[in-house]
A and B are shown apart, each in its own frame.
Chain A
Amino acid sequence: MNVNEQALEAFRQEVSTWLEENNPGDPGFLLPESFMEVGTDAQFEYLRAWQRKVYDAGYLGMSWPKEYGGGGKPQVFQDIVTQEMARQRVPFMTNTIGLNWAGPLILERGTEEAKQKYIRGILNADDIWCQGFSEPDHGSDLGSAQVKAVRDGDEYVINGSKIWTSLGSYAKYMILLARTDTGGPNKYAGLSFFLAPMHVEGITPQPIKKLTSEFGFCQTFFHDARIPANCMMGQEGEGWQVAMATLMFERGNVGGQAGGISMMDLNVNDVLELARRSTRNGRPVLEDPLIRDQMVQFLIEAKSNSLMGAKGRIPALNAERPGAVAMSGKLRSTELKRRFCQFALSLQGANGGRFIAPAAVDGGKWQRIYFNSFSATIGGGTTQVQYNIMGERVLGLPKS
């Protein structure tokens, strides 16, 4: 389809106006920064209603096929919506696992029946999805998953537990990686992938209290839980491949997501904005030369990360160690964020010691963001493991 620039500009204007008029505004409590942090019913219901409103207006899943509930339009329209959402900083789309990972996976590999059954509910947030990949004993070593799925007639019987199940208490479905065969040639061969129903006897999402005192994820226990055999995606033993395809969507390496923002994209300029309105002993904090120096240092580091991204796209400038920029990206960006969030507390004087409450600076958002930033420096391979990987795979140093 040929879309002319003028039509796109008009569309951007339309979306921008719609978002301004329909932004649900301040709920009177502190909203989470991403779907991983949804901890109260009030937060959840507020975000679910907002996603539904966006979908009903036709601004979500715009490029997904019409027959399943999508908009059937070129991707560029959805991209414009996503950009405008980010620009206006409206709340995020909370059914992230469904919209960005499970949905694209089902559209790419699912049966016709699965598409009919799941897609619309993902988009309108009627059916919340969660992810069952990580396990308590295996951190980010997904290949070692031990949750068992044993075939019994038309069902599989599931036993074990999964951890870091965001939205676990609210989810109707889980993308589940489980072991159907313990005797395969390697640990990957015995894994299978399920679009598992959560509202089944024997499945118990147990909310876990985080260091922030909030509930933001669950440990999900399976005790002889019986799920239909036909909810398997792919064949028995193909779970690892399907999980890897899912991670491609998760990491944004391939398109196909429903669109919309999935988190509040906090960056170093937000800290600068905080610094500009903060005082120390009654004077603007940016009059303090040491604070200025640290702030500039963070701005330089943020610029370094964005410029490394630009350099990474020029093969001639990465010939010697082609993986260096890409493989260090997670490490660099998550550590920088953790440090500048920590710095944001130091701008608050004695109020740095407050926590989530009306009297705190921005309601305690910065304290909470700092704590939550550890989820990224720990999850998906800790910073320290990333250092090992970089040292061994990029620099060729001997294994630790």
Chain B
Amino acid sequence: MSQPIEFTEEQSMLLDTAMDFCGKHSPVSLVRARLSDEQTIPAAVWQEIVDLGWSAITIPETYGGLGLGLSELVPVVESMGRHLMATPLVWSAAVAHTLLLAGSEEQKNTWLPKLATGAVATMGLVELDGSWLLDEPTCTAEEQAGKLVLTGTKCFVQDATLADMIIVSVLLAGQPRLVLLDKAQIPVAALTQEVVIDETRRSFQLDLDGISVGLESLLPQTCFAEIEQVLMLLLSAEMVGGHANTLNLVIDYLKTRKQFDKYIGSYQALKHPTVDILIGLEASRSHVYHGATVFDQADSSSADKAIALRMAKAVASQGFAFAGDRAIQFHGGFGFTFECDAQLYLRRALWCQYQFGDETYQRSCLAPLLLD
């Protein structure tokens, strides 16, 4: 590897554009207003995102995309995270990556050009037991008369009612496999919205019982490790963004709120942990851009990728959760109220922390890679 972190002019421009865009389209007043909307984001805003080309970033040019890497998607996702934007971009990108690695030619030809131009896709990978082992689903697919008959329940399916298609993981003949479900194959009643800690999300339970699809819906390959890595990286990027604005929120309050005739930021008991929030942010951001660099480099080994991305997820989760937690505390009584924005960030932090492995789990996965 040449440099631990590659950051191109192109990434820099994307970062500037995205920070600007997300700041404009997702001020915290709108974030709050959207908490009660049916969908995460208005169609018009999603269309603008598509028009900016962001849904096409990681899709190869042969499929109508821009042919760039996750390194170019990360600055966009970081910016969205910073402004607590919830969009289908992360999951659509994960689906695109999945199809590229594991899809049939027909699946790629059908879906990748659509995804590039803004079709929404998502995945059902997790189940009710909350397991992080993506390649050990308990939902099943059984071949019956030329059809795949699905059973079981998926959960935490993001933006499911907005999605044009959903890829789910199932066991077929004892093997973990991926199945592509077109929107038309999913009965409306199969989706039930879940109550989740981050209220900017639209999360659904997907009941597979009674759904059957043609054999061509099966993805010929699997790529669970890569799916996990893509999602760890993008969630970490989102966390870095949220972490940065949590720090800003804390600093603003520490500089304006007075107690005992002094700005509370002058007290070392608040000042020093706020510096820890900053150092945590610097660390997370470094890991995320390093993780993107490693992921996109052709000569990275699978161990290189696993180490870089698990570290990124561990550091980002721990750092953002700490920042959110302290943000509540440092706002005092106001921090205990719904009105204080600190809760928005803490809830976002906790959601991201527990998706695809928190820091403790990541360390346990890293141990054999680093120690043995």
Using a CB–CB cutoff of 8 Å, the interface residues on chain A facing chain B are: 272, 275-276, 286, 289, 292-293, 295-297, 299-300, 303-304, 306-308, 310-311, 314, 316-317, 320-321, 324-325, 328, 331-332, 384, 387-388, 390-392, 394-400
Contacts and interface: CB of A to CB of B under 8 A. Distances in A.
A300 B311 contact: yes
Contact of A396 (B251, B287, B311, B364): B251
Nearest to B369: A296
B360 A293 contact: yes
Contact of B290 (A289, A310, A331, A399): A310
User: SS class of chain B's interface: helix, strand, loop or mixed?
Assistant: helix
B267 A400 contact: yes
A315 B3 CA distance: 15
Interface in B213-251: 244, 251
Contact of A307 (B265, B275, B283, B372): B283
B274 A395 contact: yes
B278 A293 contact: no
Contacts of B5: 307, 310-311, 314, 317
Interface of B: 3-5, 7, 11-12, 15, 244, 251, 254-255, 262-263, 265-268, 271-272, 274-275, 278-279, 282-283, 285-287, 289-290, 311, 314-315, 360, 363-364, 366-367, 370-372
Top 8 A-B residue pairs of the complex, sorted by shortest distance between their CB atoms: A307-B286, A397-B265, A304-B283, A391-B271, A398-B266, A311-B286, A316-B12, A310-B4
Given A300-B366, A332-B279, A400-B267, 4 more contacts: A293-B360, A304-B287, A307-B5, A391-B271
A394 B265 CA distance: 13
Contacts of A297: 363
Contacts of A331: 279
A289 B275 CA distance: 31
B363 A400 contact: no
B364 A293 contact: yes
A293 B363 contact: yes
Nearest to B251: A395
Nearest to B272: A387
8 contacts: A307-B4, A311-B5, A317-B289, A384-B268, A384-B272, A387-B268, A397-B266, A398-B265
B371 A397 contact: no
Contacts of A388: 268, 271-272
A321 B265 CA distance: 18
A316 to B, nearest CB: 4
Contacts of A384: 268, 272
A388 B269 CA distance: 11
Nearest to A296: B363
A292 B371 contact: yes
A286 B5 CA distance: 31
Nearest to B293: A310
A324 B265 contact: no
Contacts of B279: 324, 328, 331-332
B297 to A, nearest CB: 14
A387 B273 CA distance: 9
A397 B274 contact: yes
Contacts of B367: 292-293, 295-296
A390 B275 contact: yes
A308 B286 contact: yes
Nearest to B267: A400
Contacts of A332: 279
Contacts of A299: 366, 370
A296 B371 contact: yes
A276 B11 CA distance: 41
A394 B290 CA distance: 24
Contact of B371 (A295, A324, A392): A295
B282 A398 contact: no
A310 B2 CA distance: 12
